[in-house]
Structure 1
Amino acid sequence: MMKGFKVAVTLGLFLCAISSAVHGVSVSCMMAYDEGGVPAVFQSPECLKWLLLVEAHQNQTDNCQFATLQGHREYQEDFVTCNLDMKIPIPGKYGPEKVTVGLAAVFDGHGGKEASEMASKSLLDYFFLHVLFNTYKQTLPYKEEHDMVSQGHSDEPAHHVLNLSSQEALPVVDNESLHCILKEALLRTINDIDSKFSKASILSVPCSSSEAFSNHYVSGSTATVVLLLDGQILVAFVGDSKALLCSENIQSRLDAEGTSVTELYAQELTRDHHPDRADERARIEAAGGFIQKRGVPRVNGILALSRSIGDVYFKRYGLIAVPEVLGWLSLTTSDIYLVIASDGIFESLTPQDVCSILGNARTQGNEMAKNSSSCSASSSLADCVVSAALTEGSTDNLSAIVVPLRPAGSSQEYLDEL
């Protein structure tokens, strides 16, 4: 119990050092987090109302280029979340330091908007809190060893309190550790979102408390999320929304006027989770499900995805929400745009088409091609991609986020700012 008390008090002081909104945390709240993740923190009556750095949590899409369009569907089930300027505190040499992390995500819902909407609203808060808790926990082994030394290896619990706002010597979170913390936080975030929506609470609450079961939701959602940190990206994906890089081709061509034109080529960063993929099929069939083609391959002849958030009635047949992860990938000066988009974009466009559209806009000096039927001079890059997909015949919901990694004519300096 005393050890748990030390943990709780120390965590409280750590969070107070980084946000005036937090005044402490109980042992029960720490236990709730360890047992049930961030959803349990919000649900537990022992926990505070975690109103931490509101600006860092809210969906700050004003610093992102994004576009969504309902298209020809009866409902809009796509949602986007983006904040390229999250300030996250970590232990530094002389106390808390803030690192800037970018996070952008597309959630493509099906069977209703409930899963995709909840995921988009929860992502930033969940991720932020997971980073805080796990960054703090990295100091605990050091803290316990320090206390034992300072107390002469006494069997009695030490009463020294770790205060990250002091100049006490503490283990600094280096780049490798930070990369691990961010990756783990993102994986736990997606798991928590799926658990909150899909499963009964693990805190001995009746199954009816599950978001999906209590409301009879049958919806599900993809999740394609990209983290950006110091010129590197990590991609986590569930389902068939895509992330890709548009990069300069080493070889350029001459246009009709003899002017050198540098083309952009597409590098896909994700692999669709379709049921006919060999590894996905094996898992589904091992769980008692089957793959039947009805237009496209489907789990039990119904669901066209083998991984998703939600879709609670398919969990027993091998459907999972565990993301595949690509990272960390170092960006180069050849990488011009990062694109995250729902599969509606790729119903009528290829990834290379998307990069060609963006390359054309860039060639015009970031002014949309005046002769294009899908873009106007006032369009954003994301609007351009969405409009082009609709014009080319897509009938699905359409969503895209476009992150410029290096404006035309710039240098490595822009990457260094990310």
Structure 2
Amino acid sequence: MQDAPARRSHSDETPGSTMDIDEAPPAAGGGTMAPTSTGSTVPSSMPSTTGKSYASGNTGTTESARHCSEDRSSTESASASELPSNMTAPKLGSAGGNLPKGSSLPMYFGVAESNGRRNYMQDRHLLIEDFQPSKEADLKERCPEVRSLLGVFDGHKRSEPAETAARRLPELLSREKAIFGPAKQTSSDEVFAAIKRTFQTLDDEILKEATSCDIADCQFGGSTAVIALRIGHVMYIAHCGDSGAVMACTSYDLHFPLRLTTDHKPNRADEHARIQAANGNIDEKHNRVVSEPKPHNGRVTLLSMSRCLGDPQFKENDKDVVDCTPEMRRVELQPGDFAIVLASDGLWDVLSDTEVVTILQKVRDQQEAIDGKTPKLGAEALVQQSLRKGTADNVTAVVLMINWPES
């Protein structure tokens, strides 16, 4: 573990890789229709996995973005121009909830998403403001600190892998004693290990689902994953693929982004070496991982990510050329950290980290106080700006905002 400079945080690996695959159009029923406004409500304690899009204002205790990991310069204001006529507005709604008992640091979250230019939706997300252990955790003693769990999952080829990830990940993680045990008796390494076990089990389940279905040529695809687990004043960020996370910080009235993830791509030096060590093939020109030829027709599959959940054609014969192991980071929150954004690559492809922080700061400044509406408005603004900037992909933004008590 290495502490990041000037921050009380550390990672269990070198920051890194994201993956993204060349998507084939999904089979019928694999996604949602073009987004429209909705006022549906989701229970605050349950993940949203239906493919519907919500902009929630729940309380909880809780330039492309490929660079600029800590841009501390001033930022420009986001454009307020109307969406292009060929773009669909974000699909928005609302959800309500109460601050979990024992919360000493109020947090609020919101989410918005849009199909973008596509007629299907393969992104999924989860929001659990009061994350509780399952009976299978068999806890004799539990730390009273509040837990919250957020996540974004970007499916490719089909929506099923992202759907399974959003549904099953909280169920699996809720069984882990290390997540809920007394803080003084649980180390960060144990939390990291619990998250890693959860990703591995989830990957196994998605691969089993892929091999048991009747989809031709195993075109089941896979999904990225980026999650944020809040335990009291500490955030654990884990990801595999190219869905990413950024923290919005303030210091001496300067608003700047702190990149919490780095995409898993085959041209990243450490990922490139790992793929080669696994006897994998890389299309260097197009920056893609290449699968083994299919025995019946010699065809190959290209994947623009070096890590993900699923994608059985890259994990045959125990080669695991494409890995599911998440990179993880622990961040102790401190005054000045006012927001965390989890988003699919449909947002990061067109917005820089600096632009994201600028938009959130502008939204926050327009509100009298941070409450359940603020992150909802922030998520909507991020998705709207992604559409204005021409994103062609599905885009999902989950925003968490922190309401620090006045000192």
Please report the TM-score for the alignment, with normalisation by the length of structure 1.
0.63
Distance 1:268 1:388 in 2: 20
1 or 2, which has the higher helix percentage?
1
> Partner of 2:201 in structure 1?
192
Give the deviation of 1:92 after TM superposition.
9.1
**Alignment of 1:318 onto 2:321:** yes
- In structure 2, runs of 5+ residues without a counterpart are 1-42, 49-55, 57-94, 98-108, 291-300
> Partner of 1:122 in structure 2?
168
Q: Pick from 344, 357, 375: which aligns with 1:342?
A: 344
Q: Pick from 212, 234, 239: which aligns with 2:210?
A: 212
1:132-281, aligned counterparts within 5 Å?
173-177=182-186, 179-198=188-207, 210-215=208-213, 216=215, 217-250=219-252, 262-281=253-272
| Other structure's SS at 1:185 match | helix
Letter in 2 for 1:66: V
Distance change >3 Å, CA 287–CA 130, structure 1 → 2? same
Contact 2:44/2:127 (8 A) holds in 1: no
**Alignment of 1:299 onto 2:289:** yes
| Other structure's SS at 1:337 match | strand
Distance change >3 Å, CA 211–CA 390, structure 1 → 2? same
Distance change >3 Å, CA 411–CA 180, structure 1 → 2? farther
1:70-81, aligned counterparts within 5 Å?
70-81=115-126
User: Could you list the per-position Cα deviations for residues 366-413 of structure 1 after superposition, in whole angstroms to 9, with x for gaps in the alignment?
Assistant: 699xxxxxxx99962111111111111111100011000136xx436x
> Partner of 2:131 in structure 1?
86
User: Could you list the per-position Cα deviations for residues 179-233 of structure 1 after superposition, in whole angstroms to 9, with x for gaps in the alignment?
Assistant: 44433322211111101111xxxxxxxxxxx200111342111111111112111
Distance 2:158 2:406 in 1: 44
Give the deviation of 1:176 after TM superposition.
4.8
Letter in 1 for 2:382: V
> Partner of 2:401 in structure 1?
404
Distance 1:323 1:377 in 2: 30
Distance 1:378 1:318 in 2: 38
Letter in 1 for 2:156: H
Letter in 2 for 1:83: I
**Alignment of 1:359 onto 2:335:** no
Distance change >3 Å, CA 390–CA 293, structure 1 → 2? farther
| Greater C-alpha Rg | 1
**Alignment of 1:381 onto 2:378:** yes
User: Could you list the per-position Cα deviations for residues 88-145 of structure 1 after superposition, in whole angstroms to 9, with x for gaps in the alignment?
Assistant: 489999x65644211111111111111111000111111112338x87xxxxxxxxxx
- In structure 1, runs of 5+ residues without a counterpart are 1-54, 136-171, 199-209, 251-261, 369-375, 413-418
Distance change >3 Å, CA 297–CA 92, structure 1 → 2? closer
Distance change >3 Å, CA 347–CA 56, structure 1 → 2? closer
Distance 2:308 2:263 in 1: 11
Contact 1:224/1:340 (8 A) holds in 2: yes
Distance 1:339 1:92 in 2: 31
The 10-residue stretch of structure 1 (180-189 or 297-306) with the greater mean CA deviation from structure 2: 180-189
The 10-residue stretch of structure 1 (81-90 or 265-274) with the greater mean CA deviation from structure 2: 81-90
Q: How many residues align?
A: 287
Distance change >3 Å, CA 319–CA 248, structure 1 → 2? same
Distance 1:283 1:378 in 2: 38
**Alignment of 1:58 onto 2:67:** no
1:32-47, aligned counterparts within 5 Å?
none
Contact 1:58/1:124 (8 A) holds in 2: no
Distance change >3 Å, CA 245–CA 312, structure 1 → 2? same
RMSD: 3.0
Letter in 2 for 1:59: P
Distance 2:401 2:45 in 1: 22
Distance change >3 Å, CA 359–CA 81, structure 1 → 2? same
User: Could you list the per-position Cα deviations for residues 247-297 of structure 1 after superposition, in whole angstroms to 9, with x for gaps in the alignment?
Assistant: 1132xxxxxxxxxxx342111000110000011111112222222146x41
Contact 2:143/2:182 (8 A) holds in 1: no
Contact 2:138/2:177 (8 A) holds in 1: no
Q: Pick from 132, 149, 170: which aligns with 1:103?
A: 149
Pick 1 or 2: higher relative contact order, CA cutoff 8 A, min separation 6. 2
Distance change >3 Å, CA 92–CA 282, structure 1 → 2? closer
Contact 2:375/2:399 (8 A) holds in 1: no
Letter in 1 for 2:158: G
Distance 2:138 2:176 in 1: 15
Distance 1:229 1:245 in 2: 16
The 10-residue stretch of structure 1 (331-340 or 65-74) with the greater mean CA deviation from structure 2: 65-74
Distance 1:183 1:281 in 2: 24
Distance 1:110 1:291 in 2: 19
Give the deviation of 1:353 after TM superposition.
0.5
The 10-residue stretch of structure 1 (350-359 or 184-193) with the greater mean CA deviation from structure 2: 184-193
Q: Pick from 263, 271, 275: which aligns with 1:284?
A: 275
